[in-house]
Amino acid sequence: MGDVAFRMRTDPIPVRDRAAVTREVFGHQFLRLDVEEIGNVPLHVDLKLRALPGLHTARGTVRGIKAQRTNPLMSDGNDDIFLTINLTGRYHVVQRRHDVVLDAGEAQIAGCALPCTYVRPSGTALGLRLPHAALASRVENLDDRLGAKLTRTNPALNMLQSYIGILDETPSLPEVAKLAVSHIYDLVALSLGTKVGSDVEAQRASVNAARLHAIKNYVIENLTLPDLNIGQVAAWHRLTPRQVQRLFERDGKTFSAFLTARRLAHAHDAFTDPARAHQNISQIIFESGFNDVSNFNRAFRRCYGASPSEIRNSALLQYGK
C-alpha cells in the first residue's frame, strides 16, 4: 500500500530499562507523549504502527500507562487530529472540558495541538492520526468537537473500524493508497457529522466503496461455504439483501456473479496447483462452494475456455509432471 509499518513492543526490553525506554523512545520520539507507569500494573506495550500518505494508525495492547500530550511536547507544532477507538477494556481520556471513559466500541476525537491525557490500565485500541486540514474541510466546527465521545452505535464509526481492519490484513498497491486514505477521511467525517456545504454525496460514495470492499473481502474469506448467500452476507454487515445488491450493481455486477467468479477462480487455482494434482476434481469443485458438478463445468468452460481436466493437464505439463 505504499506504507511503512513496524512493531512497538516492550517485552524484549529488560524489565529494569522498560519504563525508561517506553518514556523516552516510544513516548517522546515516536508518539510525542509524556508516558509514566500507573499503580501496580506491569507496564506493557505491543502496538503495530503504520504510516500511510496522510494517515498514521496504531493498533494493539497497552497496559499500566498514563500518557499526556503536554505543553513542552506541543512545541512541535503538530495540530493533527487523533481518533481513539477503544476495542477492549476501559480507556480514560481527558481533553478540554471533556472527561470521558471509553468502553469497548466507543471512541474519542482529540487534537494534538491541545493538552490531552490518556489513562490505560489494560486493553486494546485502534488509533488514527490524520491532518487537521483534511478533516476541517469535511466537518463543521471541528475544533469545538475535540474531546467528545462517539458511541458504539455510530454506523460510520463501525464501518471505519471494519475498513481499517481490512486494510491491516490486506495491504494494497501503492497507487490505491490515496483513495483508501480519502475513504478513511470521509468515514471519520461522517462519524462526526459532515460540514454544511461539503460534498456529502462524494463522502457517501466513499462509504459505499468502503462497505463494498468489506463485503467482498468477507465473501472471499467464506466462499468455500456451500450455503453462503446474500442474506447471510447482508446480516453480517447489518444491511438488507437489497442494499448489498445495490452496492454490487453500482460496481457493474451482481452479488451472485461476483460469488461465482471468485469460486471459479478458487477452483482454477486448485486445478493448476501441482501440490493438489492428486485430488479428485469433484472434491475440489465441492470444496470451492459448488454443489452441482454439471453446472460448475458449464460455468468453468464459459470462464476459462476449457474443462477442469484440460486446465489441470496443461498445468502439469508446464511443471513437467
Verdict on whether the full-model pTM lies above 0.75? no
Task: Report pLDDT digits (tens) over 198-252.
Answer: 455 655 676 777 778 888 888 988 998 888 999 999 888 778 899 899 899 888 8
**240 Cβ contact list (under 8 Å, min separation 6):** 234
Q: Tell me what pLDDT residue 238 has.
A: 76
| pLDDT reported for residue 172 | 54
Per-residue pLDDT reduced to its tens digit, 110-140: 999 999 999 999 999 999 999 999 999 888 8
Determine the Cα–Cα distance for residues 238 and 236; give it in Å rounded to an integer. 6
pLDDT of 206 reads 67
Q: For residue 17, what are the contacts with CB-CB under 8 A and spacing of at least 6?
A: none
What share of the chain in percent tops pLDDT 90? 46
Contact 285, 308 (CB under 8 A): yes
Q: How far apart are CA 301 and CA 40, in angstroms?
A: 66
User: Which CA distances in Å does 13 have to 5, 6, 41, 59, 64?
Assistant: 20, 16, 17, 20, 16
Which pLDDT does position 110 carry in this prediction?
Answer: 94
More confident residue, 317 or 57: 57
Other CB atoms within 10 A of residue 139 CB = 24
Helix (H, G, I), strand (E, B) or coil at 240: coil
Exposure b/e, 204-215, CB count within 10 A at least 16 = b: eebbbbbbbbbb
- What pLDDT score does 1 carry? 41
pLDDT top residue among 214 and 85: 85
Q: Which residue has the higher pLDDT, 79 or 179?
A: 79
Beta bridge partners of 52: 55
Confidence of residue 42 (pLDDT cuts 50, 70, 90): confident
- What residues contact residue 65 under an 8 Å CB cut-off, 6+ apart? 22, 35, 36, 37, 38, 43, 45, 118, 119, 120
8 A C-beta contact, residue 54 and residue 181: yes
Q: 231: buried, middle or exposed (CB in 10 Å: 19+, 13-18, 0-12)?
A: exposed
State how far the Cα of 70 lies from the Cα of 113, in Å rounded to an integer: 9
Confidence (pLDDT) at 165: 76
> Which pLDDT does position 226 carry in this prediction?
86
Average pLDDT, the chain: 86
Beta bridge partners of 126: 59, 85
Question: Is the CB of residue 171 less than 8 Å from the CB of residue 111?
Answer: no
CA-to-CA dists, residue 46 to 26, 64, 65, angstroms: 11, 12, 12
Q: Residue 200's pLDDT is what? A: 56
Average pLDDT of 161-168?
Answer: 75
- In angstroms, the Cα distances linking 11 to 24, 38, 42, 46, 47 are 16, 18, 11, 8, 11
Q: Answer for the pair 91, 123: CB distance below 8 angstroms, yes or no.
A: yes
Mean pLDDT of 272-292: 91
